[in-house]
Structures are given as C-alpha cells and as structure tokens.
Homo-oligomer: A and B are copies of this chain.
Amino acid sequence: MWKAVPKIRIMDTTLRDGMHAMAHQFTPEQMARVAAALDEAGVDVIEVSHGDGLAGYSFQYGFAAATDEEYLRAVAPVLKRAKLAALVLPGIGTCKDMQMAVKAGVKVFRIATHVTEADISEEHMGLAKEMGAEVVGFLMMSHTVDKEKIAEQARLMESYGADVVYVVDSAGAMTPQEVKEKVSYVRSCLKIPVGFHAHNNLGLAIGNTLAAVEAGATVVDGTLRGLGAGAGNAPTEVLVAALKKVGCEVGVDLYKIMDAATVLEPMMRRPQVIDNASIMLGYAGVYSSFLLHTYRAAEKFGLDPRDILMELGRRKIVGGQEDYIIDVAYEMAQNKQVVAG
C-alpha cells in the first residue's frame, strides 16, 4: 500500500490543547507526570502551554492553575528524549514570552495564525530561529479556504523560516477527501514537511490524520484520550495504533503510550465524547469559542442555536468576531418575523 514505510513524527499536545478541556487547571506536577510518560513512550515533541499559548493566562482566555513558566520548568527536567514545545499565538504571546520559554527549556515553537493571516507570524518566527529553536507554523481553520490559499500562506511561513507547516482543522470540519486534496497540494508547493492537526467533531480525527499521512503529511498531532475542547483531538494512543496498522514507523511504543493515557485518565474532568454541540460546530465549521455566544444570542432572539451556528459557518466568521454573532442572530430573527408575518 505504501511505496516505502513512511516515518511519521508525533507531536503530543495533551498539555496544551488538552488544557481547554481542563479549564487550564492542570497542576505543574500533573503535567510533569504526563510528560514523563509521553517521553518514556517515545513521543518526539511535547507541547506545554496555556490552551491559547504563551501568555494566554488572562481574564479574557482563562486563568490557568500556574504560569507558563511554572509549567515549562516543571516539565523540562523530566524529558529524556522528547523536545519541549510551546504554542504562540501572535497577538497574545510576545517575544518576551518566547525568551522566557527558551530559558525554561523550550526547543520548538509552534506559531499559529488564522489560515489567511500568516503574515503576522514573521517576527515571532524570526525570533524563534534566532534563538535556535525549531519552528512549526500552524494554519488554523484551514477548512474555510481553498488549497491554493493555504499553500500561499504556508509558503509565507516557509519564507519566514518555518521548519514544518501544519494544515489545522480547528473546527473538526474537514472530510478525508478534503484533507487529502489540501495536504497533497500544500505538500507539492513546499520544500519543508507538512503536518496535520485534527479535531474529532465529526468522528474523523483519526480518519483524517490517516488521510493526511496518505497525502504526504509526515508530522501529526494527538492528545492522550483525545483530551481537548468539545469533541477533542486525535487520541495519541489510538493514532499510534492506527499508524502502525497502516504500516507507518512512528518511533512510539504502543503499550507505553497506552500506559501514558492511563496516567492521564484520572486527571480528566469528563470522558472525551462527541456531544451534539460538537457535531454542530464541526458540521457548520465554526470555532468552539463561539458556542457560548451562540447560546446567549439564541435565547435572546428565540432562535434555535443550531440554525445560528449554520449561518455563522456560511458566513465564515473567524475568531475575534464574537460580537458579530448578535448581529447575525438579530438579522435572522427579523427575517423569521417577516416570513411568519
């Protein structure tokens, strides 16, 4: 089935994207235990930060149980083989935060922007390279644009020094066919490796990641037990089994990564399942942070929140446009009255 056995690099983001499902309340000691188990299993990169990246710790994004520095300093000493990574969202994380992170042991920066805004990552990527770190570019909400747009933005990140660029399915809205089409095109436009980050809203986190690998992605993300916002991510331990099953070399021990999931499990606040709200977010292609605003708007205007999500998806609104939800709901309520009258 495979021309050669592809080597796939696994980056685990339990201790970053999983923070959303923990209301950012992992303790540094818990992080160190999970990280040690991931390291022992052979995971290549372990991402540790507030769910919204360095400096996410705030009134707006949610207070965490510790600062990024405390988390990083707790995890760095337990890693024997894995590289420590931190997420940076330009606009939230600053150059100062990145300097702190390098001092605390970070070797990899994952720098994320909306899929049409790669240009805001230039300064952060430059600094990361300057400090000798590996740079991973993250193009979020890649389902909202066509493959040419993703490739254009990926090339920008490549030009800023990125060592890898990820196609990121932030809303769990992509289908395997779409993943293959987008990843293989981006792959053909870049000299650097392409990565894929999945969410499980439509039950496709593993299926889409395999599709990405089939299309040439060589770096993929997971979180233990799928820990993450809403429907969560590709469960790292399941991903390892699935990748081995299709003949990939992953450098991770299956028994030990399942053991790592066992270390995490008692820390979880709830089992990671696909609820109806997650399905709607994936189906509509809307970012999970819009959910609460949507419920409020639905109640205010007597609308079905599912209809609002569908309309937001059609209009392709992006993070930061939360206020716009009220406008959309108001407009929908007006139209409804006209139709009813």
Contact = CB atoms under 8 A, between A and B. Distances in A.
Q: How many copies does the complex hold?
A: 2
B283 A210 contact: no
Interface residues of A, number: 44
Contacts of A173: 245
Taking chain A's interface residues, is the majority helix, strand, or loop, or is none over half, making it mixed?
Answer: helix
Given A176-B210, A206-B203, A258 B276 contact: yes
Interface stretch (A43-51, A108-116, A148-156, A235-243): A235-243
Contact of A202 (B242, B262, B276): B242
Given A177-B1, A283-B245, A306-B255, A237 B205 contact: no
A175 interface: yes
27 contacts: A173-B245, A175-B210, A175-B242, A175-B245, A176-B176, A176-B207, A176-B210, A176-B211, A202-B206, A203-B205, A203-B206, A203-B207, A203-B234, A203-B238, A204-B206, A207-B207, A207-B208, A207-B210, A207-B211, A225-B273, A237-B279, A238-B274, A241-B282, A245-B283, A258-B279, A270-B271, A271-B271
Nearest to A181: B1
A261 interface: yes
